[in-house]
Amino acid sequence: MSTTTTAAPLPPPGRVRMTMYALAQLGLAVPALVLFILDVVGGALALIVIGVPLLLATIPATRWVANCHRAMAGRVLGTPIPQQYRPTRPGGPVARLAGWAADPMTWRDAAWLVAACTVGFALALVAVLLLVLVVTGALWWFGIEPIMRARSAMDRWFLSYGHTEKLEQRVQVLTETRAEAVDHSAAELRRLERDLHDGAQARLVALSMSLGMAEAAFDSEDPEQALRLVQDARSTTTAAIGDLRSVVRGIHPPVLADRGLGGAVTALAMDMALPVTVESTLPGRPPAPVESALYFGIAECLANIGKHSGAGNGWIRLSHEDGVLRAVVGDDGRGGADPGGGTGMLGVMRRLAAFDGTLSVASPGGGPTIVTLEVPCVLSSPRTTPSSGPA
Partner 1 sequence: MRLVLAEDHALLRAGLIQLLESTGFTILHAVDNAPALSAALLDPAAEAAVLDVRLPPTQTDEGLRAAIAVREARPGFPVMVLSQYVEQLYARELLASGAGAVGYLLKDRVADVAEFVDGVRRVAAGGTVLDPEVVATVMARQREEPLERLTPREREVLGLMAEGRSNAAIAGHLHVTDKAVAKHINSIFTKLDLPIGEDDHRRVRAVLTYLRV
**Which residues contribute to the site for partner 1 (CB under 8 A)?**
234, 237-238, 241-242, 245, 248-249, 254-255, 257-259, 263, 266-267, 270-275, 386, 388-390
Q: Which is nearer to partner 1, 185 or 238 (CB)?
A: 238
Q: Which is nearer to partner 1, 23 or 272 (CB)?
A: 272
The β-bridge partners of 376 are 324
Among residues 148, 152, 117, the alpha carbon closest in space to that of 18 is found at 148
What minimum distance in Å lies between the beta carbon of 222 and partner 1?
24
What minimum distance in Å lies between the beta carbon of 71 and partner 1?
52
For residue 33, CA distances in Å to 21, 38, 58, 62, 110 come to 18, 9, 12, 10, 10
What minimum distance in Å lies between the beta carbon of 230 and partner 1?
11
Measured in whole angstroms, how far is the alpha carbon of residue 72 from the centre of its chain?
28
- Torsion 54-60-63-64 (CA) sign: negative
What minimum distance in Å lies between the beta carbon of 270 and partner 1?
4
Q: Which is nearer to partner 1, 343 or 387 (CB)?
A: 387
Q: Which is nearer to partner 1, 88 or 238 (CB)?
A: 238
Which string of DSSP letters, residue by residue, matches 110-156? HHHHHHHHTHHHHHHHHHHHHHHTSTTHHHHHHHHHHHHHHHHHHHH
Q: Which is nearer to partner 1, 90 or 386 (CB)?
A: 386
Q: Which is nearer to partner 1, 323 or 386 (CB)?
A: 386
Q: How many CB atoms lie within 10 A of CB 42?
A: 21
Measured in whole angstroms, how far is the alpha carbon of residue 354 from the centre of its chain?
10
What minimum distance in Å lies between the beta carbon of 385 and partner 1?
9
C-alpha angle 319-248-311 in degrees, rounded to nearest 5: 50
What minimum distance in Å lies between the beta carbon of 187 and partner 1?
24
